[in-house]
Amino acid sequence: MKEQELLFLGFLQDGPKHGYQLKKLTRDISVTFTGLIKTDSIYYPLQKMLKNGLVTQVSGKEGNRPLKYTYKITQKGKDEFKKLLLSNILTIEKPYFSIDLSLYFLHHIPIQPKRHYLQIRIKLLNRLKKSIQNLRASQSLPSASPRGEPSPNLSAIFEHNQELLDAEIKFITRLAEKI
């Protein structure tokens, strides 16, 4: 829940947003960085933040359109955002790599299939790397400049993901060569 609060409070730093705008921003970030944020509904966390005084909600209606709620960050929300951001930056968790469990039992696979499977994993990792590079080059990402360049923050996330993939590709390649 804290990551959702950080996400929504971060979006609201730039100004008030309608619920559907927050939903779209969340969806865009989720598509860009799968696994970064998991949320089924934006409204439950928003209601909790409203109850805790982190945001305010104003309703408005335009013509025959449905009622819209606009959310605005409060001073308490700005203070909480700073705390959550600092906490998130300083929280270190052991990275989880899905292959670690397989590596533990790798000795149960004969050498030739083992090498083959590791080579397949390298190909899959390279595809993922290429996919991230293509996404980074696409114009569908939120940009920070009028020229459409990705924001430095998104660039840092892409770079981080690329370096993690490079490290795993290097490791799996060495492992396959040792077998």
Which CATH number is 30's domain given? 1.10.10.10
In this prediction, residue 146 carries a pLDDT of: 56
Same domain (yes/no): 76, 19:
yes
Same domain (yes/no): 72, 16:
yes
Q: What is the mean pLDDT of each run of 10 residues along the chain (179 residues)?
A: 88 93 83 61 91 95 85 98 96 86 94 95 95 76 57 81 94 94
In this prediction, residue 84 carries a pLDDT of: 96
**Residue 21 near residue 66, CB atoms below 8 Å:** no
In this prediction, residue 74 carries a pLDDT of: 98
Same domain (yes/no): 121, 166:
yes
Predicted TM-score (pTM) of the model is 0.73
* Neighbour-count burial of 32, counting CB atoms closer than 10 A to its CB (0-12 exposed, 13-18 middle, 19+ buried): buried
Same domain (yes/no): 138, 158:
yes
Same domain (yes/no): 81, 104:
no
Which structural domain range is residue 78 located in?
A: 2-90
CA pair distance 126, 28, nearest whole angstrom: 23
Q: 154-159: list long-range contacts, CB under 8 Å, 24+ apart.
A: 154/32, 157/33, 158/132
In this prediction, residue 139 carries a pLDDT of: 52
In this prediction, residue 136 carries a pLDDT of: 78
In this prediction, residue 71 carries a pLDDT of: 96
In this prediction, residue 41 carries a pLDDT of: 80
**Residue 10 near residue 71, CB atoms below 8 Å:** no
Same domain (yes/no): 84, 117:
no
Which amino acid does the sequence have at 49?
A: M
Among candidate residues 42, 67, 90, the one where a domain is terminated? 90
Same domain (yes/no): 74, 120:
no
Same domain (yes/no): 103, 86:
no
Closest CA to 8 of 24, 160, 151: 24
In this prediction, residue 149 carries a pLDDT of: 63
In this prediction, residue 145 carries a pLDDT of: 53
- Provide the number of structural domains found in the chain: 2
Same domain (yes/no): 9, 49:
yes
In this prediction, residue 166 carries a pLDDT of: 96
